[in-house]
Structure 1
Amino acid sequence: MEGATTNGLRPLGLKGPRADIVRELKAAGGLAAREISCQLRLSANAVRHHLKELEAAGFVGHDREHRGGGVGAPTYVYRLTSDGEALFPSRYEDAVSRLLDHVVEKEGRAAAVEVLEARYRELADELRPILVDASPAERWATVTRTLSDEGYMPEVHATTLGTHLLVEHNCPIKQVAQRFPEVCEAEARFLAEVLEAHVTREAHISSGCGACEYQVGPVPLAGPGTGPSFTDKKTRELQ
């Protein structure tokens, strides 16, 4: 499970090494050329060539940064530009936004929120018979595959605490989520249900983070509220 990831989401209009480089930058947030070279097993010259072409196309930019605790000379760190971010699918976000505008106008905001929440209930209903006898590894594989199909670029890491860290590198409905933050709560409840776990959101794309991150741990064996559940780290810290 350590480092498990699904690789179905590809940047639109790119293929080959340049698509791979853009995807690595999307997942990591920022990388030096040598880091890209190691991860993709490409020569340094090939990586620099592709980065130059991606910069010329406006998909990638760079800054000089100190790495390794500030020791040594600064290095170039490459990141996606807004045009580079736009290469990743948004799951018909414009059409969804127009639909929600219509629902809000005709039936009110609560009805629009219900439409969004219903999608996660449908996903949970689809997965329930598949997961009924699934092992933990099979459960994770099924859920991450579903998230990948939905465009979230998920990655899962086992932690030393016996929990898992679920990282979603892409939000396919980012603009919708900013308008209707309730959809993020619905997603977290969906994760808690299908993973049969307690889920804590540690980072949130809609709050300006580079990814959504969830700590996924076992459900308490006893006590009030026992069962799959969700908490938000920011909300918990304010309590």
Structure 2
Amino acid sequence: MTVVQEPESGTRDTILELIVERGPITAASLAKILYLTPAAVRRHIGVLEEESLIEVHETTASSQARRGRPARHYVATKEGQSQLQNEYSDLASHALEFIRDSLGDDKVEEFANKRSDELEKRYGRALDEVGEDPAARAKELVKKLSGDGYAASLRSVGPRGMALQLCQGHCPVQQVAGQFPELCEAETQAFSRLLGVHVQRLATLAGGDHVCTTHIPLLIPSRPAGTPTRNNATEGNQ
């Protein structure tokens, strides 16, 4: 857990980061994580709402409190997400636009695939060290993604936890991915190869959702975990 001992603005930034990473989340949950009183958290939440950095997320009846008004769950707005955006997004967008206009869509896809292959190379060894179990590999993937600034987390879903949802509360290339969905598609394929199961992207920040969500089934592996990248597989057949 995180103990907050910092100025008001620093605490507020921490709360925003947690909402980006773990939202939808309640003020009570934030208070427990930060060892703050619920009243103190609500004060910061009020400021963040006034600045349009967060908003209340509609929840289902099953997730509402049993008595009184339902607990409010907060998520980051697009403005809140933009507080963590990479300052090189505009440059990257222009570069990919130049590639597409000069060389065609195929080259954009080739770039996206190359980027996902590099992600596999960076993460593959660490995932291999934890074994073949998709759940264990998913936990390690979350650690690696969070280290690269994706504010990743993992949630168990379905009866008896038959699946996981990988959530990415922040995407350093969100603005670029909004223009070039090939980046999201290639990343999803990389996750599938790293985990050894057929994953499905349910939502993306680039598509306007509050978090990128990837569904990971745990029952039937579709391929050996850590399947070689496209380039390595191609080289092996030569």
TM-score by shorter chain over 0.5: yes
Return the match for 1:44 from 38, 43, 55. 38
Displacement of 1:62 in angstroms is 6.2
Please point out which of 118, 122, 126 is paired with 2:122: 126
Query: 2:152 is aligned with what amino acid?
Result: P
Q: Which runs of 5+ in 1 are unaligned?
A: 1-6, 8-13, 230-239
For 1:59, the aligned partner's letter is L
The equivalent residue for 1:232 is none
CA distance in 1, matches of 2:75, 2:122: 37
TM-score, normalization by structure 1: 0.70
1:101 paired with 2:97, answer: yes
Cα offset for 1:75? Answer: 6.7
Matched residue, 1:154: 152
In structure 1, the residue matched to 2:216 is 216
Q: Where does residue 200 of structure 1 map in the other structure?
A: 200
Q: RMSD across aligned C-alpha pairs, in angstroms?
A: 3.6
**Counterpart for residue 179 of structure 1:** 179
Equivalent pair of 1:64/1:74 in contact (CA under 8 Å): no
Q: CA separation in 1, counterparts of 2:199 and 2:56?
A: 35
Structure 2 counterparts to residues 45-124 of structure 1, below 5 A: 45-55=39-49, 59-60=53-54, 68=64, 72-73=68-69, 79-90=75-86, 92-124=88-120
Residue identity (%): 26
1:181 to 1:17, Cα distance in 2 relative to 1, 3 A = same
Is residue 169–residue 212 contact of structure 1 (8 Å, CA) maintained in 2? yes
> Where do 5+ consecutive residues of structure 2 fail to align?
3-7, 226-238
What is the rounded CA distance, in whole Å, between the counterparts of 1:211 and 1:63 in structure 2?
Answer: 12
Matched, 1:22 2:20: no
Change (3 A) 1:73 1:132: closer
The 3 A distance-change label for structure 1 pair 30 and 144 is closer
- The total of aligned residue pairs comes to 213
Deviation at 1:133, TM superposition (A): 4.3
Structure 1, residues 182-233: CA drift from partner, whole Å, max 9, x if none?
2222111100111122212233334433222222234747xxxx5269xxxx
The alpha-carbon distance between structure 1 residues 32 and 200, as it changes in their structure 2 partners (threshold 3 A), is closer
Superposed CA offset, 1:123-156 (max 9, x none):
2123334444432476334422321233321111
Deviation, 1:42, is 0.7
As a proportion of its length, which structure holds more strand?
Answer: 1
Contact 1:196–1:219 (8 Å) recurs in 2: no
Matches of 1:177 and 1:151 in 2, distance apart? 15
